[in-house]
């Protein structure tokens, strides 16, 4: 879930991500994974190419350590070389959640006489000021995951900067993504006191996460009964103060069913 949110941020705010990682707002476009031919390609791998210069940027957002990362980076480097032998390539693994695992320290793949190196960013080691930049608003959702003893305060600062953005669509997307990433370090009730929930619900990626959760609930519901899983999910939404009509639309329940569940939530 979190990896896909980061992919969404990168695709929506490519210039800001390029400024952060490459030092300037390089004009990047998505490289079609089909051009790299061989399968499988991980859905959360993001490969962009500079339309003006010979550069390819490969990003891997990781919530948790993965021992397969070094090989995957080497594999993708060779795939890109096969298709674009003249292009330079910058590969960066960005770890989101703090961990003591040595896996997040690995920056190379070594096999006999073959060695391939890549870059690693551990967000919890970066300073909040790196992301609290009003000129690179696409970085704001990452601020809460940076090196701080008070993530709630940092999220407050990010929220204030988001409020100052004039474009409504940009505001909505940043609130939605910031809320989801903040879930790695803060409780939901704390996040809701800082970020306006009505704005969160307008976010495309936030709605997608809700749908994903609902679909997961439906799959689990095959064991306990789909109706029970649907009602359980609906109650969760109602506890988050989502309007009855929206809950009905999202879950497929009737207004009457949702109102009955609302009564249950109110009485408990």
| pLDDT at residue 36, rounded to an integer | 72
Least reliable range by pLDDT among 65-69, 89-93, 253-257: 253-257
| pLDDT at residue 214, rounded to an integer | 46
| pLDDT at residue 247, rounded to an integer | 82
CA distances from 62 to 2, 4, 14, 67, 83 (A): 8, 10, 18, 11, 26
Phi and psi of 183, rounded to 5°?
A: -65, -15
pLDDT-above-70 percentage for the chain:
85
Whose CA is closest to 141, among 186, 84, 90? 186
Mean pLDDT computed over 170-187: 91
| DSSP string for 192-255 | HHHS-HHHHTT-HHHHHHHHHHHHHHHHHHHHH-HHHHHHHHHHHHHHTT--HHHHHHHH---H
| pLDDT at residue 53, rounded to an integer | 80
Whose CA is closest to 217, among 195, 203, 235, 233? 233
| pLDDT at residue 218, rounded to an integer | 47
| pLDDT at residue 122, rounded to an integer | 98
| pLDDT at residue 94, rounded to an integer | 97
Highest mean pLDDT among 2-11, 80-89, 99-108, 184-193: 99-108
pLDDT-above-90 percentage for the chain:
50
- Give pTM, 2 decimals: 0.76
pLDDT digits (tens, 9 = 90+) for 119-143: 999 999 999 999 999 999 999 999 9
pLDDT digits (tens, 9 = 90+) for 90-121: 999 999 999 999 999 999 999 999 999 999 99
CA distances from 145 to 119, 152, 180, 206, 225 (A): 19, 10, 11, 18, 37
| pLDDT at residue 217, rounded to an integer | 46
Domain ranges in the chain are 2-125, 128-203, 205-267
**Tokens representing 18?**
């390029």
| DSSP string for 128-164 | GGGT--TT-GGGGGGGGGSS-S-HHHHHHHHHHHHHT
| pLDDT at residue 211, rounded to an integer | 61
CA distances from 23 to 99, 101, 133, 145 (A): 27, 29, 14, 21
pLDDT digits (tens, 9 = 90+) for 211-254: 655 445 444 444 455 677 778 778 888 887 888 888 887 777 88
Pair 21, 123: CB distance under 8 Å: no
The span from the CA of 213 to the CA of 71, in Å, is 31
| pLDDT at residue 196, rounded to an integer | 78
| pLDDT at residue 31, rounded to an integer | 81
- Degrees (nearest 5) of the Cα angle 35, 39, 40? 120
User: pLDDT-derived band of residue 189, with 50, 70 and 90 as boundaries?
Assistant: confident
The span from the CA of 99 to the CA of 78, in Å, is 29
Whose CA is closest to 62, among 32, 95, 90, 92? 95
- Degrees (nearest 5) of the Cα angle 54, 60, 61? 135
Pair 159, 179: CB distance under 8 Å: no
| pLDDT at residue 221, rounded to an integer | 47
Average pLDDT of the chain to the nearest whole number:
85
The span from the CA of 3 to the CA of 6, in Å, is 5
């Amino acid at each position: 879930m979190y990896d896909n949110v980061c992919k969404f941020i990168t695709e929506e705010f490519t210039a800001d991500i390029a400024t952060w990682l490459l030092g300037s707002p390089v004009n990047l476009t998505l490289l079609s994974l089909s051009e790299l031919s061989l399968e499988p390609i991980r859905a959360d791998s993001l490969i962009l190419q500079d339309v003006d210069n010979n550069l390819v940027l490969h990003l891997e957002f990781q919530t948790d350590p993965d021992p397969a990362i070094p090989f995957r980076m080497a594999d993708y480097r060779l795939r890109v070389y096969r298709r674009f032998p003249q292009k330079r390539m910058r590969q960066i693994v960005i770890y989101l959640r703090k961990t003591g695992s040595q896996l997040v320290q690995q920056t190379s793949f070594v096999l006999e006489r073959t060695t391939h190196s890549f870059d690693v960013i551990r967000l919890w080691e970066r300073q909040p000021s790196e992301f609290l930049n009003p000129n690179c608003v696409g970085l704001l959702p990452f601020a809460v995951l940076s090196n701080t003893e008070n993530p709630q305060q940092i999220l407050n600062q990010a929220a204030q900067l988001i409020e100052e953005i004039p474009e409504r669509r940009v505001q909505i997307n940043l609130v939605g993504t910031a809320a989801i990433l903040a879930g790695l370090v803060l409780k939901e009730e704390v996040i809701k006191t800082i970020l306006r929930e009505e704005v969160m619900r307008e976010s495309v990626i936030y709605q997608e996460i809700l749908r994903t959760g609902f679909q997961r609930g439906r799959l689990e519901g095959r064991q306990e009964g789909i109706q029970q899983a649907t009602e359980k999910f609906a109650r969760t939404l109602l506890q988050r103060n989502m309007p009855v009509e929206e809950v009905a639309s999202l879950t497929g329940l009737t207004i009457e069913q949702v109102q009955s569940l609302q009564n249950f939530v109110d009485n408990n």
